Amino acid sequence: MTSEENGQGADKLLNDMVRDADEYYARLNVQQANQTRIYSAVMGAVIWFAVFAGLGIALYFNVKATEITLDLLWAFLTAVASGAIAGGVMYAVRRQRATKFADLGSLLTKIKQGRVSSEDGLRLMDLMHQAALTMRKQRLDSAFAYGVGAFILVSIVGLNAGFGALAGVVTYLYFRYEALRDYEKEDERYEVAKRDIILSL
């Protein structure tokens, strides 16, 4: 195989990699947005439940029966406000993490405007790997939040904390497994793609 053919093969490999990276970046943004909304909603619900349960128990043991209705309404509204604020803060924090994908987006824009070099290809793979690590952390955080949410929901609906705890653990383990499995796939793709680029130099 001539050096010209080698160069054409390397260019095709890099162009394919840029196309894959562009699709991956778009998928990351969608996943980030969905994960942020769901995580914020779940955490807001968890805070609402915790505040309402705490205030409700305190009022039950310290307030006269004739006054309990208005006080419970106050506790409910306070819990709703606390949940909304907590959800908003969580949303802002998770949105801030999305800036870790900015370097990947900037490099893709730069590459699309000019010729792709092998160095750009290597840096692109490293940034994709960093983005995958960030998504893994976010999904593991979300798995815990989903577990807590499942515990609360099942405990309330089923009036059984034991079933709630079981549902919470199963939910957490399932989403944790999915997050780690997807990351392992991305990590394997990263190693293979990086090796192919190095061999093409």
Q: Are 151 and 46 in contact (CB under 8 A)?
A: no
Q: Give me the number of domains the chain comprises.
A: 1
Q: Are 142 and 129 in contact (CB under 8 A)?
A: no
Mean pLDDT, 10 residues at a time, over the chain (201 residues)?
Answer: 50 72 80 80 83 80 69 83 88 72 78 70 78 80 84 80 88 90 78 67 56
Question: What are the structure tokens assigned to 178, written together?
Answer: 């999915």
Please give the pLDDT value at position 196.
66
Please give the pLDDT value at position 118.
65
Please give the pLDDT value at position 1.
45
Range of the domain at 21: 3-200
Please give the pLDDT value at position 116.
60
Query: What CA–CA distances, in Å, run from 175 to 37, 80, 140, 146, 165?
Result: 16, 27, 8, 8, 16
Question: What are the structure tokens assigned to 76, written together?
Answer: 């409910």
Please give the pLDDT value at position 21.
77
Q: Cβ contacts of residue 4 below 8 Å, gap of 6+?
A: none
